Amino acid sequence: MSDDAITKVSIVISKGSLEGVYPGLIMGNGALMDGIDASIFFTFFGLEAIIKSKMNKMKVATVGNPAMHIPTFLGALPGMSALATMMMKREMEKLEIPPVGEFIEMIHDAGGTIFACKAAMDMFHYTKADLCDEVDDILTVGAFYEASAGAQIIFT
């Protein structure tokens, strides 16, 4: 390993849609598979991925998402988000990409650290009881930076 090799990453997930959460989960898992220490910090709407009652009900955002390549008014039609979500989940199954809850469990079991943002928890009135068991701690931003000392911080 060269002197400038990445040995630690801290990934920030702030979006609460499938396409907002999966990049961070894939990057975190990939880091762990390559022997890189990885932590994931869920903040703002990204908390949805670690809230027990919501983590496996995430959807694709069809409104305001230029990558959907559809006019905004079509994305707003009833059922469009559900259809896009179903299609994306079908493609992920083909690639054996696990559902959010299972993915978080895999990352945690592989040695990844899962953090929830204290400010976002307070803002949305969540408690530790709302979180999945894999969450290691609820951190302030300052504590997250301390835990990330020496890491590459990646914001997805």
Q: What is the pLDDT of residue 70?
A: 80
Specify whether the CB–CB gap between 69 and 24 falls below 8 A: no
Specify whether the CB–CB gap between 17 and 82 falls below 8 A: no
Mean pLDDT in the chain? 93
53-98 per-position pLDDT tens digit: 999 999 988 887 777 778 777 778 788 889 888 998 999 999 999 9
Residue 135 inside a domain? The answer is: yes
Global confidence as pTM: 0.90
Domain count of the fold of the chain: 1
Residue 126 inside a domain? The answer is: yes
Q: What is the CATH number of the domain that holds 135?
A: 3.40.1260.10
Q: Residue 51: which of 100, 88, 11 has the closest Cα?
A: 100
Residue 1 inside a domain? The answer is: no
CB atoms within 10 A of CB 146: 10
pLDDT category at 37 given cuts 50, 70, 90 is: very high
Range of the domain at 40: 8-59+100-155
pLDDT category at 2 given cuts 50, 70, 90 is: low
Q: Given a cut of 90, is residue 40 above it in pLDDT?
A: yes
